[in-house]
Amino acid sequence: MIKITVSASKEYDVVMERGALSGIPALMEEAGIIPGKKLCIVADETTNRLFGGESCDLWQALAGAGFDMYRYVFEGGEKSKTMNTITGLLNYLADNRFSRSDMLIALGGGIVGDVTGFAAASFLRGVDYIQIPTTLLAIVDSSVGGKTGVNLDAGKNLAGAFWQPSLVVFDPYVLDTLSYDAMLDGIAEAVKAGFIGDRAIIDEINALTSAADSDFLTEIAARAVEVKRIVVEEDERDTGSRQLLNFGHTLAHAIEKLSDYRISHGHAVAMGMVIVSSAADALEWSEEPCSDSIWTILTRFKFPLDYPYSARELTRAALADKKIRGNEITLVIPRIVGKCRLKTIPTDQLEGFISCGIQQLEQLKGKDI
Ligand SMILES: NC(=O)c1ccc[n+]([C@@H]2O[C@H](COP(=O)([O-])OP(=O)(O)OC[C@H]3O[C@@H](n4cnc5c(N)ncnc54)[C@H](O)[C@@H]3O)[C@@H](O)[C@H]2O)c1
Ligand SMILES: [Zn+2]
């Protein structure tokens, strides 16, 4: 068993273990969560079918332990990460008379986690919830750290709350059904964690021979969670160093929005990181060349790396993000593999920066690394 304790506004364990889904009542008891209360499993249609049904280990274990079980299922996908889904879930909880001492369980990837966490933060001004990540991306990144939220028409993650879970439980067995593309999404966020805080993650990803090796991926995820733990404990509310976790994300959010969410978050992050690191190399803002290292991983795992948008389109979409204040934008720039820094530039220099990254990338594409 791997256990990492996060000490933020709430202290909680991230537990990774084969068989953890059927053993969850014991983990909950250890976290002080005792049977008798109502539990609402929140899932998308896929995660409900795979892991949430009444005959599944999770439901059996929780019902068997004496929890009063409910479920709320919504259609998966980024287009469901909206206030409408939150309203539906909140009404369901109210109709079923959930109280402040009852709980939610997020059973799914980052989308289910973000929606469930935000609903938990808002219902009766805050109820507890557990994260059960079922994608690599969710265990590597989104299930830890308490950032929750939904998209608005204006862009990604524009409404939300900081609301830490009470427990995070990951069973590597869930990865067995994950698509290759979804696995790539998780690898992209693991590369991000490696770049900002732990070079060994990059070495391990380079040593990974199969994207289906769930035990090895779990070890990588544990390292990524450790990077996140350090950053979240230092700056839970994202006013300083936590912004490092946004490496590649300013562009990723622009790419997701421009593609009308057809390009997934993790794939967009991969594109964002490679453009930023290429520009940083070309401008000599990095202390060692970093883009080769990302490019090697992305090509080895066959990430689709055609950039369908021009520097101008990406800049417009990035600057439309309502989170940007004034006429400056803060970028996350790799210093060396394993360390990044924040760099603020005037917004009118962003297009030149992106364009430089795209040009450098064209050279990388022609190079046999
Ligand atoms: N809150 C945070 O800190 C944070 C961090 C990173 C990303 N995110 C968010 O996470 C979201 C992306 O999460 P994601 O990549 O997990 O996407 P996702 O939740 O949409 O899951 C991807 C797909 O895989 C399916 N799926 C989930 N588990 C499965 C399994 N075990 N087997 C088979 N299919 C399975 C889902 O139904 C879905 O179709 C984005 O909205 C992103 O903004 C949030
Ligand atoms: Zn992300």
CATH number at residue 43: 3.40.50.1970
* Centre of ligand 2 from the C-alpha of residue 32, in Å: 30
Whether the predicted pLDDT of 145 surpasses 90: yes
Pick from 178, 197, 221: which residue ends a domain?
Answer: 178
Asked if residue 323 has pLDDT above 80, the reply is no
Q: Are residues 345 and 312 in the same domain?
A: yes
Residues 202 and 331 in one domain: yes
Q: What's the number of domains the chain is made of?
A: 2
Share of the chain above pLDDT 70, in %: 99
Atom of ligand 1 nearest to the CA of 175: 31
Does one domain contain both 153 and 296? Answer: no
What SS3 class is residue 332?
strand
Q: Is the dihedral of CA 208, 214, 220, 221 positive or negative?
A: positive
Looking at the CA of 142, which ligand is closest?
A: 1
Determine the distance separating the centroid of ligand 2 and the alpha carbon of 189, expressed in angstroms: 6
pLDDT on residue 212 = 83
Cα–Cα distance measured from residue 40 to residue 38, given in angstroms and rounded to the nearest whole number? 7
Query: Is the per-residue pLDDT at 349 higher than 70?
Result: yes
Of 133, 153, 178, the domain-final residue? 178
Same domain, 219 and 169: no
Pocket residues: Cβ below 6 A from ligand 1: 44, 46-47, 50, 76, 78, 81, 108-112, 114, 134-135, 137-138, 141-142, 145, 147, 157, 174, 177-178, 182, 185, 265-266
Note whether 206 and 332 are same-domain residues.
yes
- Write the burial class of residue 307 (CB in 10 Å: 0-12 exposed, 13-18 middle, 19+ buried): middle
User: Is residue 362 domain-shared with residue 218, that is, in the same domain?
Assistant: yes
Residue 50: exposure state from Cβ atoms within 10 A (0-12, 13-18, ≥19) = middle
> What average pLDDT does range 48-61 have in this prediction?
97
Check residue 185 and give its pLDDT. 97
Q: Which of 77, 152, 87 is nearest to 110 (CA)?
A: 77
Q: Say whether pLDDT at 17 is over 80.
A: yes
Mean pLDDT of 4-18: 97
| pLDDT over 60 (residue 369) | no
Place of tokens 């990430």: 303
CATH of the domain at 209: 1.20.1090.10
* Separation of CA 80 and ligand 2 centre (Å): 17
Return contacts of 202-205, CB within 8 angstroms, 24+ apart: 202/293, 202/297, 202/337, 202/338, 205/297
Instruction: Name which residue leads in pLDDT, 304 or 187.
Output: 187
d(CA 314, CA 326): 18
More confident residue, 257 or 308: 257
CA atoms of 341 and 318, how far apart (whole Å) = 19
The residue segments making up the domain with residue 136 are 2-178
Tell me which amino acid residue 182 is.
A
- Ligand 1 atom 16 nearest Cα: 109
Residue 325: pLDDT above 80? no
What span, in angstroms and rounded, lies between the C-alpha atoms of 58 and 56?
6
Q: Are residues 159 and 268 in the same domain?
A: no
Alpha-carbon 268 to chain mean position = 12
Distance 126 CA to ligand 2 centre (A): 24
pLDDT at residue 102 greater than cutoff 60? yes
Q: Name the residue of 168, 265, 273 to mutate for ligand 1: max ligand atoms within 8 A of Cβ.
A: 265
Q: Tens digits of per-residue pLDDT, 242-285?
A: 999 999 999 999 999 999 999 999 999 999 999 999 999 999 99
| pLDDT reading at 355 higher than 80 | yes
- In tens, the pLDDT along 234-251 reads 999 998 889 999 999 999
Quickly state the pLDDT bin for 368 (edges 50, 70, 90). low
Long-range contacts of 47-53 (CB under 8 A, 24+ apart): 47/76, 47/107, 47/108, 47/109, 47/112, 47/134, 48/73, 48/107, 50/134, 50/174, 50/177, 51/21, 51/107, 51/132, 51/134, 51/174, 52/107
Are 43 and 166 contained in the same domain?
Answer: yes
In which band, very low, low, confident or very high, does the pLDDT at 324 lie, cut at 50, 70 and 90? confident
Contact status, residue 189 vs residue 110, Cβ threshold 8 Å: no
**Same domain, yes or no: 338 and 198:** yes
What percent of the residues of the chain are helix, what percent strand, and what percent coil, each to the nearest 5?
50, 20, 30
Whether residues 101 and 246 fall in one domain: no
Which residue's alpha carbon is at the smallest distance from atom 10 of ligand 1? 110
The band of 367, judged by pLDDT with boundaries at 50, 70 and 90, is low
- Which of 115, 135, 244, 259 is the best mutation target for the ligand 1 pocket, counting ligand atoms within 8 Å of the beta carbon and taking the most? 135
Q: Are residues 289 and 332 in the same domain?
A: yes
> Does 322 lie in the same domain as 232?
yes
Residue of 238, 269, 234, 274 whose CA lies nearest to 254: 269
Report percent pLDDT > 90 for the chain: 90
Give the mean pLDDT of 88-98.
Answer: 98
Nearest alpha carbon, ligand 1 atom 34: 178
Instruction: Give the domain-ending residue among 161, 178, 195.
Output: 178
**Protein residue closest via CA to atom 35 of ligand 1:** 178
